[in-house]
Structure 1
Amino acid sequence: MDGISGSSAFPPIGDYGFLSDCEVTALVAPSGNIEWLCLPRLDAPSVFGAVLDRGAGGFRLGPADIRVPAARRYIPGTMVLETSWGTATGWIIVRDVLLMGPWHHEDELSHTHRRAPTDYDAEHVLLRTVRCVSGEVQVTLECEPVFDYGRQAATWSYTDRGYHQGVARAEEVGLELKLTTDMRLGFEAGKAMARTLLKEGETRYAALSWTEHEPPHDFREAYERLVWTAHHWQHWLARGDFPDHPWRSFLERSALTLKGLTFAPTGALVAAATTSLPETPGGQRNWDYRFSWIRDSTFALWGLYTLGFDWEADDFFWFIADVAERDKDLQIMYGVDGERDLHEETLDHLHGYEGAKPVRIGNGAYNHRQNDVWGAILDSFYIHIKSRDGLDERIWPIIKRLVEAAITHWREPDRGIWEVRGEPKHFTSSKVMCWVATDRGARLARLREEPELADRWQKVADEIHADVCTRGVSADGIFRQHYDTDALDASLLLIPLVRFLPPDDARVKATVLAIADHLTVDDLVLRYITDETDDGMTGQEGSFTICSFWLVSALVEIGELDRARRLCEKLLSFASPLGLYAEEINPVNGRHLGNFPQAFTHLALINAIIHIIRAEQQQLAVPSITSNGGPGRV
């Protein structure tokens, strides 16, 4: 089943709405069904998992006889999702939000947050409100949690609030869900249900809560807390520094999405909100992305600093510093609280999104050797330190250890940036990132006025540079995927972005244009040709959207601004109806594939748009946006 014909029971991945309170995330289908929610934090087992199996739990609020809404949007500048429904008899508007509120952890700070607390915090409440704006509409509520990834059905019981509050429990699950509403609840098996006829001007609400923090107990309180949350997001966004440009809205939605993919207690930025949404319809390229990749750090810090979100950038930086200080052998990825063991297993009882199996939790790539990790973290340290007055004494021992690790291992094969599960190779991009590690280390050593160390590290950087330019370039003068092939790889687009070579170097131009012409389908970039790469998997995959945005940035770098602008416009046209991106896009039909929403895609979008805006400003001789350094520094 490919789901393209419209016969699929699963909504298209790109049609989901995304909610977050920076501790948990949720996906809302166009039907009004919440089909993904993991509790009590975003990488925990799901309680609503219908996105992976139609029987794994969901929570629908909407009209009784209509499934397709008239319109959906975010309230501008917020993470509050608004869905409008028109029926034969009237119109209603449903609003969904994970509530934020004033800080409330005074007695438990040491157990919840490692980053500096702010004035706000997650309320641990999923709130849904409905208002009838004209006529009358029969509204139904169906809340059916299934705990532990669809393995434990819920049992409902009333509280002392009678028909207006129920509690869902399951044996051997240490989590209770409380559903509070001004509708009358009834229970059928594992489902809490309500139905009511709303007439013009009437309202209802339903609040799902999972901790001791109180939900709203009437619509007035629910509305006030929704407004507080909406204002919180608008005030947060107002802190940013966004250019006055037609593409500003894409930058703002990307910033909100990245904030939503941040785990506030530690500052970790997860790759995506979901697990096992397939890269290939019905295929087996299904991975758990609810973890934090060190590789994302360079683009994350650059994007956040560039848009003026220094607090969030600093929090992510210190999360990285925490794990780098603790672990002598740095992993490529960690859990949101710094967990090392991300053991991968399959959930064979789940059907999978449109039948794509296996469904995986955990990610076996955590113990892969990827030699690009040192370059990514050293570049992020360099970006952070450049934005400060000096180099923190806590950081310098970490930097020295990481640079020495890159020096020790740069000659060894690895699994590359794409975590291939075939045999390790001498991937060119991994060597380039080892150069980044030693180059940035040398710069930081000079900043600390340690010339002997700087000279030694610079000598190794020059050696790596020469090795890549000798063994990583084909006879045609094009950088290749690894030393034993002439195959192309989209990771080579990073060569000009990390300043390995200047953008006017003939090899750089040839590589960027070769990827643009030969590693694309309808202009969208593939990671690599699967038939030419031993990635340990079967089947094809769609274009990787991050790579397409990298191509935009690289085209700007080599002076192909018009081509870059056309590609960027095409990519922006593929945004989901709510401005979100999954990991991949099918170039033929524009369908989003892979986990959703994808942080790395939104980070690359920011980089690409800022590249184009700066280039346009330079053409017009207008002062450019202030740069904080980072990939593709202008």
Structure 2
Amino acid sequence: MTAIADPKEVAVLSGARRSPFPPIADYAFISNCHTGALIASDGSIDWLCVPNFDSPSVFGSLLDREAGSFRFGPYGIDHPTARAYVPGTNVMQTTWRTPSGWVVVRDALTMGHHGTEDLVTPHTRPPSDVDADHMLVRTVRCMEGRVEVELICEPAFDYGRTPAQWELLDGDRHTADATGADQRIRLRSDLAMGIEGNRIRGRQVLTAGDTAYCALSWTKELPPPADAADAFGRIATTEAFWRDWLAGARIPDHRWRDPLQRSALVVKGLTYMPTGATVAALTTSLPETPHGERNWDYRYTWMRDSTFTLQALHWLNLDWEADEFMQFLADLEPDTDGSLQIMYGINGRRDLTETIREDLSGYDGAKPVRIGNGAFDQRQNDVYGAVLDSILLHTRRSQRLPRRVWPIVISQAEGAAKVWQNPDQGIWEARGAPQHYVSSKLMCWIAMDRAAKLAHMRGDPELAAKWHGVATEIHADILANGVSQRGVLRQHYGTDALDASTLLAVLFGFLPHHDERLRNTVNAIAEELTEDGFVLRYRTDETDDGMSGKEGTFLICSFWLVNALAVVGEIPRARDMMERLLRIASPLGLYAEEYEVQTGRHLGNVPQAFSHLALIQAAARIILAERLEELS
């Protein structure tokens, strides 16, 4: 007799169950390179932090349906006909069909030409010709028929803790200020607006050819658009900014051109222009396990991302962005021993103390909601390798090693030499007991290997020889203790469990590409650490990570496997897996952190820079192999 599943368990597993929270993959991402917003398919801004990526949210319905939202669209219609990015941009366009007509809405965090110093988010890097307006602009055009358009703006400051207090300015129904938690934002629209408690609302009927707009500003220096023409013009300027930027990227004429372009735009959109830092993701506390506790704040810059960021940026020929990121690294304040933290704030701040927001329901009930990240003061030995590999990449590209960077090389190399024999929390920031993780030893080897190369380039053979000697010692230790009897790289020295982070041995040239141990590791992960072909970080029942619950498959690990398959010569397998990964992108070409195979949903924070960086690297590896094959 077939057992009947527990209805509660079915509800958890079903990706189609009813929920007031939109699927993570349904959100659109827009950015002005200072902050970003997520737009639900019903036209509501459900996530926006101002003025920075890591500021408290003004619209936080992503984490609690009462934590603030901002909708602009046709009245009474929640399901659009089509949603797409304006080609080559981070500007969103939504087409709506109503019973009586058609309208098109465009949303942008706008960019503009400014001749004055930015006092809202001061720059440590040279300002560019075009910078953020610190403004959200939304326009609508009626294409056909007659459509009633509605504006509902209900901010809730400080992650929903403080409802907005609205005030119409001088009796003008077209301009209003909202205040709360020591913040003030200004809304302007050509719709006549009225205050309803903590929200403001406007409605207007448009006929074919009519337009309307609304704009939210959080700076006094740049007032909102004066009229619809000004609003449409600001969006046009923003579209031109993104297209001009993309024109400078090297995107090959290949069948994967579109996902490469979208990934490049995502990575740029997650870059904090004032300092050159890149946030790991736009959001906090989107669950890796549905309804679970694996919820983290990713609005910071991880040092481990540095080498992947530099690889992708240089491959795309985005050398300016690569240099900005390198200068951000050079500005960071190290610990007293000269080592760098595993992560920093986007302005370089060191203290990312984690707090819990008990007042928020969490996305679809996933709690706790975390602000800050308690892993910031963990000891993770992979940091040294990530930093030094990125410096070597950038030095080779620019053909020079800046004077201000050399002290970082020395401190990171000396740090890696001191700690490589110690256990740590590993690349995944496990909150269990420290272990001798193979990936951490590997990254220490990378640190010493890259430091030796940099010393040689600088003309210091004695130091190069010293650091090369340490690299040789680490290499031998990994092969002696980090390889199982069947010739596969372990998760850590005390287990034969698999870990996708050991794929880094393939990607960073730890052994020759034809080495049997590399091939064994790649095949073992492909066959034993996957669900329906998508890669897990590790088996949670085999790993003491200090957390409960199961994870989805990690998208970066799946892209790493694509890359690794290509390195060991399995190009057809790599290509097939790449095509599968491209097919599971969100409808707008975005990737979160994880993918739940059973339900086909995206999980974790979104958009995830790591996922898009890994896509670029994996695509580059296969495209290069295909081009070389054409020449053979």
- After TM superposition, the score normalised by the length of structure 1 is 0.96
Q: Does 1:594 align with 2:604?
A: yes
Please say if residues 103 and 118 of structure 1, whose CA atoms lie closer than 8 Å, have aligned partners that are also in contact: no
Partner in structure 2 of residue 363 of structure 1: 373
Inter-partner Cα distance in structure 2 for 1:82 and 1:6: 28
Distance 1:614 1:286, change over 3 A: same
Please say if residues 482 and 490 of structure 2, whose CA atoms lie closer than 8 Å, have aligned partners that are also in contact: yes
Partner in structure 1 of residue 317 of structure 2: 308
Inter-partner Cα distance in structure 1 for 2:171 and 2:559: 53
Q: Secondary structure at the match of 2:626?
A: helix
Equivalences for residues 39-118 of structure 1 within 5 A: 39-106=50-117, 112-118=122-128
Deviations 1:357-412 (A, max 9, x none): 00000000001110000000000000011112222122112211110000000000
Residue 400 of structure 2, aligned match among 390, 393, 400: 390
Please say if residues 31 and 109 of structure 2, whose CA atoms lie closer than 8 Å, have aligned partners that are also in contact: yes
Residue 213 of structure 2, aligned match among 205, 209, 233: 205
Which amino acid in the other structure matches residue 43 of structure 1? D
Q: Secondary structure at the match of 2:606?
A: coil
Distance 1:324 1:304, change over 3 A: farther
Residue 539 of structure 2, aligned match among 517, 529, 534: 529
Q: Does 1:568 align with 2:578?
A: yes
Query: Gapped runs of 5+ residues in structure 2?
Result: 1-10
Partner in structure 1 of residue 7 of structure 2: none
Q: Secondary structure at the match of 2:112?
A: strand
Aligned length in residues: 619
Inter-partner Cα distance in structure 1 for 2:516 and 2:333: 37
Q: Secondary structure at the match of 1:272?
A: coil
C-alpha displacement at 1:161, in angstroms? Answer: 6.5
Which amino acid in the other structure matches residue 186 of structure 1? G
Partner in structure 1 of residue 549 of structure 2: 539
Q: Does 1:226 align with 2:235?
A: yes
C-alpha displacement at 1:174, in angstroms? Answer: 1.9
Percent identity over paired residues: 54
Please say if residues 31 and 68 of structure 1, whose CA atoms lie closer than 8 Å, have aligned partners that are also in contact: yes
Residue 185 of structure 2, aligned match among 177, 185, 191: 177
Q: Secondary structure at the match of 2:143?
A: strand
Which amino acid in the other structure matches residue 291 of structure 1? Y
Which amino acid in the other structure matches residue 74 of structure 1? Y
C-alpha displacement at 1:588, in angstroms? Answer: 2.4
Moved more, 538-547 or 63-72: 63-72
Inter-partner Cα distance in structure 2 for 1:365 and 1:201: 53
Residue 196 of structure 2, aligned match among 185, 188, 197: 188
C-alpha displacement at 1:196, in angstroms? Answer: 1.1
Distance 1:6 1:203, change over 3 A: farther
Inter-partner Cα distance in structure 1 for 2:334 and 2:358: 37
Inter-partner Cα distance in structure 1 for 2:326 and 2:400: 15
Inter-partner Cα distance in structure 1 for 2:27 and 2:346: 23
Inter-partner Cα distance in structure 2 for 1:614 and 1:471: 34
Partner in structure 1 of residue 438 of structure 2: 428
Residue 308 of structure 2, aligned match among 287, 299, 313: 299
Which amino acid in the other structure matches residue 80 of structure 1? V
Partner in structure 2 of residue 501 of structure 1: 511
Residue 559 of structure 1, aligned match among 555, 560, 569: 569
Partner in structure 2 of residue 240 of structure 1: 249
Partner in structure 2 of residue 27 of structure 1: 38
Please say if residues 335 and 341 of structure 2, whose CA atoms lie closer than 8 Å, have aligned partners that are also in contact: no
Inter-partner Cα distance in structure 2 for 1:463 and 1:535: 28
Moved more, 53-62 or 4-13: 4-13
Partner in structure 1 of residue 16 of structure 2: 5
Which amino acid in the other structure matches residue 182 of structure 1? D
Please say if residues 43 and 290 of structure 1, whose CA atoms lie closer than 8 Å, have aligned partners that are also in contact: yes
Equivalences for residues 219-368 of structure 1 within 5 A: 219-323=228-332, 328-368=338-378
Q: Secondary structure at the match of 1:340?
A: coil
Inter-partner Cα distance in structure 1 for 2:117 and 2:531: 54
Inter-partner Cα distance in structure 2 for 1:586 and 1:621: 40
Partner in structure 1 of residue 177 of structure 2: 167
Inter-partner Cα distance in structure 2 for 1:538 and 1:389: 48
Q: Secondary structure at the match of 2:407?
A: helix
Inter-partner Cα distance in structure 2 for 1:236 and 1:319: 20
Inter-partner Cα distance in structure 2 for 1:210 and 1:313: 29
Please say if residues 334 and 340 of structure 2, whose CA atoms lie closer than 8 Å, have aligned partners that are also in contact: no
Partner in structure 2 of residue 630 of structure 1: none
Inter-partner Cα distance in structure 2 for 1:105 and 1:58: 31
RMSD: 1.2
Inter-partner Cα distance in structure 2 for 1:392 and 1:226: 39
Q: Secondary structure at the match of 1:507?
A: helix
Partner in structure 2 of residue 473 of structure 1: 483
Inter-partner Cα distance in structure 2 for 1:611 and 1:79: 26
Distance 1:350 1:257, change over 3 A: same
Q: Secondary structure at the match of 1:60?
A: strand
Moved more, 98-107 or 405-414: 98-107
Distance 1:239 1:430, change over 3 A: same
Please say if residues 71 and 83 of structure 1, whose CA atoms lie closer than 8 Å, have aligned partners that are also in contact: yes
Deviations 1:74-115 (A, max 9, x none): 000011100011111111111000010013433759x71111
C-alpha displacement at 1:160, in angstroms? Answer: 2.9
Distance 1:412 1:167, change over 3 A: same
Inter-partner Cα distance in structure 2 for 1:107 and 1:584: 36
